[in-house]
Amino acid sequence: MMGVSLLGTFYMRQMALENSQDSLTQSQENYTEAVRQYGASSKQALSALSQLERAERSYQTAQTMSTLMTISAGVQLVGFGAQILYVLPKINTLITTLRSLAITQTILNALKGPVRWAMLAGGVVAAGVGTYAVTNMLNQGGSSAPSVNVNVNNQQDIYLQYLQRVNGNSVTSAGG
Protein backbone atom coordinates (compact mmCIF):
# COMPACT_ATOMS: atom_id res chain seq x y z
CA MET A 1 0.00 0.00 0.00
CA MET A 2 2.96 2.29 0.51
CA GLY A 3 3.52 2.48 -3.26
CA VAL A 4 -0.10 3.45 -3.98
CA SER A 5 -0.09 6.12 -1.27
CA LEU A 6 3.25 7.45 -2.46
CA LEU A 7 2.14 7.64 -6.08
CA GLY A 8 -1.19 9.19 -5.13
CA THR A 9 0.48 11.90 -3.05
CA PHE A 10 3.02 12.54 -5.79
CA TYR A 11 0.24 12.90 -8.36
CA MET A 12 -1.69 15.30 -6.10
CA ARG A 13 1.43 17.46 -5.65
CA GLN A 14 1.97 17.57 -9.40
CA MET A 15 -1.66 18.58 -9.93
CA ALA A 16 -1.32 21.33 -7.30
CA LEU A 17 1.81 22.58 -9.10
CA GLU A 18 -0.01 22.66 -12.45
CA ASN A 19 -3.03 24.44 -10.93
CA SER A 20 -0.84 27.07 -9.25
CA GLN A 21 1.01 27.57 -12.54
CA ASP A 22 -2.30 28.08 -14.34
CA SER A 23 -3.37 30.53 -11.63
CA LEU A 24 -0.08 32.42 -11.98
CA THR A 25 -0.49 32.64 -15.74
CA GLN A 26 -4.08 33.90 -15.38
CA SER A 27 -3.06 36.46 -12.72
CA GLN A 28 -0.28 37.75 -14.99
CA GLU A 29 -2.75 38.15 -17.86
CA ASN A 30 -5.24 39.96 -15.56
CA TYR A 31 -2.56 42.35 -14.30
CA THR A 32 -1.33 43.08 -17.84
CA GLU A 33 -4.89 43.78 -18.98
CA ALA A 34 -5.62 46.05 -15.95
CA VAL A 35 -2.44 48.07 -16.59
CA ARG A 36 -3.31 48.40 -20.28
CA GLN A 37 -6.89 49.50 -19.63
CA TYR A 38 -6.60 51.57 -16.44
CA GLY A 39 -2.88 52.36 -15.95
CA ALA A 40 -0.21 50.95 -13.59
CA SER A 41 -1.29 52.99 -10.53
CA SER A 42 -5.02 52.38 -10.91
CA LYS A 43 -7.10 50.58 -8.28
CA GLN A 44 -7.78 47.69 -10.73
CA ALA A 45 -4.07 47.29 -11.59
CA LEU A 46 -3.01 47.37 -7.89
CA SER A 47 -5.65 44.75 -7.04
CA ALA A 48 -4.49 42.56 -9.97
CA LEU A 49 -0.85 43.05 -8.83
CA SER A 50 -1.77 41.87 -5.32
CA GLN A 51 -3.47 38.80 -6.81
CA LEU A 52 -0.39 38.17 -9.01
CA GLU A 53 1.92 38.28 -5.95
CA ARG A 54 -0.29 35.75 -4.10
CA ALA A 55 -0.27 33.49 -7.18
CA GLU A 56 3.56 33.72 -7.35
CA ARG A 57 3.88 32.72 -3.66
CA SER A 58 1.41 29.89 -4.17
CA TYR A 59 3.35 28.66 -7.22
CA GLN A 60 6.67 28.81 -5.34
CA THR A 61 5.16 26.89 -2.43
CA ALA A 62 3.72 24.25 -4.78
CA GLN A 63 7.07 23.97 -6.56
CA THR A 64 8.91 23.53 -3.25
CA MET A 65 6.40 20.90 -2.08
CA SER A 66 6.69 19.05 -5.39
CA THR A 67 10.49 19.01 -5.07
CA LEU A 68 10.28 17.76 -1.48
CA MET A 69 7.80 15.09 -2.54
CA THR A 70 10.14 13.92 -5.29
CA ILE A 71 13.03 13.69 -2.82
CA SER A 72 10.83 11.88 -0.30
CA ALA A 73 9.70 9.42 -2.98
CA GLY A 74 13.32 8.71 -3.87
CA VAL A 75 14.25 8.08 -0.25
CA GLN A 76 11.25 5.79 0.23
CA LEU A 77 12.10 3.83 -2.90
CA VAL A 78 15.67 3.31 -1.70
CA GLY A 79 14.31 2.06 1.64
CA PHE A 80 11.89 -0.22 -0.16
CA GLY A 81 14.77 -1.62 -2.25
CA ALA A 82 16.76 -2.33 0.92
CA GLN A 83 13.77 -4.15 2.41
CA ILE A 84 13.46 -6.29 -0.70
CA LEU A 85 17.15 -7.24 -0.49
CA TYR A 86 16.62 -8.21 3.16
CA VAL A 87 13.48 -10.25 2.48
CA LEU A 88 14.58 -12.19 -0.64
CA PRO A 89 16.80 -14.72 1.21
CA LYS A 90 14.03 -15.23 3.75
CA ILE A 91 11.59 -15.99 0.93
CA ASN A 92 14.02 -18.58 -0.44
CA THR A 93 14.23 -20.20 3.01
CA LEU A 94 10.44 -20.19 3.25
CA ILE A 95 10.09 -21.86 -0.16
CA THR A 96 12.58 -24.57 0.85
CA THR A 97 10.70 -25.17 4.09
CA LEU A 98 7.36 -25.35 2.28
CA ARG A 99 8.79 -27.88 -0.19
CA SER A 100 10.01 -30.02 2.71
CA LEU A 101 6.60 -29.82 4.33
CA ALA A 102 4.94 -30.78 1.05
CA ILE A 103 7.17 -33.87 0.77
CA THR A 104 6.41 -34.78 4.38
CA GLN A 105 2.68 -34.34 3.78
CA THR A 106 2.87 -36.55 0.68
CA ILE A 107 4.59 -39.29 2.67
CA LEU A 108 2.03 -39.01 5.45
CA ASN A 109 -0.82 -39.18 2.94
CA ALA A 110 0.77 -42.29 1.41
CA LEU A 111 0.77 -43.95 4.84
CA LYS A 112 -2.91 -43.39 5.61
CA GLY A 113 -4.99 -46.49 6.01
CA PRO A 114 -4.18 -50.20 6.50
CA VAL A 115 -3.66 -50.96 2.81
CA ARG A 116 -0.90 -48.37 2.54
CA TRP A 117 0.74 -49.63 5.73
CA ALA A 118 0.64 -53.16 4.30
CA MET A 119 2.36 -51.88 1.14
CA LEU A 120 5.03 -50.23 3.26
CA ALA A 121 5.53 -53.44 5.27
CA GLY A 122 5.85 -55.41 2.02
CA GLY A 123 8.48 -52.99 0.79
CA VAL A 124 10.44 -53.33 4.02
CA VAL A 125 10.26 -57.13 3.82
CA ALA A 126 11.44 -57.09 0.18
CA ALA A 127 14.34 -54.81 1.06
CA GLY A 128 15.27 -57.09 3.99
CA VAL A 129 15.20 -60.21 1.83
CA GLY A 130 17.33 -58.52 -0.83
CA THR A 131 19.84 -57.35 1.76
CA TYR A 132 20.02 -60.83 3.30
CA ALA A 133 20.63 -62.44 -0.11
CA VAL A 134 23.42 -60.05 -1.05
CA THR A 135 25.06 -60.38 2.37
CA ASN A 136 24.84 -64.18 2.17
CA MET A 137 26.50 -64.23 -1.28
CA LEU A 138 29.32 -61.99 -0.09
CA ASN A 139 29.94 -64.12 3.02
CA GLN A 140 30.25 -67.41 1.06
CA GLY A 141 33.62 -66.39 -0.29
CA GLY A 142 35.07 -66.97 -3.75
CA SER A 143 34.13 -70.69 -4.14
CA SER A 144 30.82 -70.13 -5.89
CA ALA A 145 31.66 -66.84 -7.55
CA PRO A 146 33.83 -66.93 -10.68
CA SER A 147 37.16 -65.20 -10.42
CA VAL A 148 38.48 -62.76 -13.00
CA ASN A 149 42.10 -61.77 -13.51
CA VAL A 150 42.62 -58.18 -14.48
CA ASN A 151 45.91 -56.90 -15.82
CA VAL A 152 46.46 -53.19 -15.52
CA ASN A 153 49.02 -51.86 -17.96
CA ASN A 154 50.68 -48.53 -17.87
CA GLN A 155 51.34 -46.47 -20.99
CA GLN A 156 54.83 -47.92 -21.54
CA ASP A 157 53.54 -51.52 -21.36
CA ILE A 158 50.82 -50.73 -23.90
CA TYR A 159 53.38 -49.15 -26.24
CA LEU A 160 55.67 -52.21 -25.95
CA GLN A 161 52.78 -54.54 -26.78
CA TYR A 162 51.96 -52.41 -29.80
CA LEU A 163 55.55 -52.55 -31.06
CA GLN A 164 55.63 -56.34 -30.61
CA ARG A 165 52.51 -56.75 -32.74
CA VAL A 166 53.72 -54.37 -35.42
CA ASN A 167 57.28 -55.70 -35.64
CA GLY A 168 56.46 -59.29 -34.87
CA ASN A 169 59.42 -59.61 -32.52
CA SER A 170 60.10 -59.15 -28.86
CA VAL A 171 60.84 -55.66 -27.66
CA THR A 172 62.09 -55.13 -24.13
CA SER A 173 62.23 -51.34 -23.85
CA ALA A 174 60.39 -48.42 -25.32
CA GLY A 175 63.56 -47.11 -26.94
CA GLY A 176 64.58 -50.31 -28.65
122-134 residues labelled b (16+ CB within 10 A) or e (exposed):
eeeeeeeeeeeee
Instruction: State the Cα–Cα distance between residues 11 and 19, nearest whole angstrom.
Output: 12
**Mean pLDDT, residues 127-144:** 68
Taking residue 2's Cβ as centre, other Cβ atoms within 10 Å add up to 11
DSSP string of 11-23, one letter each residue:
HHHHHHHHHHHHH
pLDDT at residue 89, as a whole number: 82
Given a cut of 80, is residue 120 above it in pLDDT?
no
Phi, psi of 41 (to 5 degrees): -100, 10
Given a cut of 60, is residue 138 above it in pLDDT?
yes
**Interval 48-73: pLDDT, tens:** 999 999 999 999 998 988 888 888 77
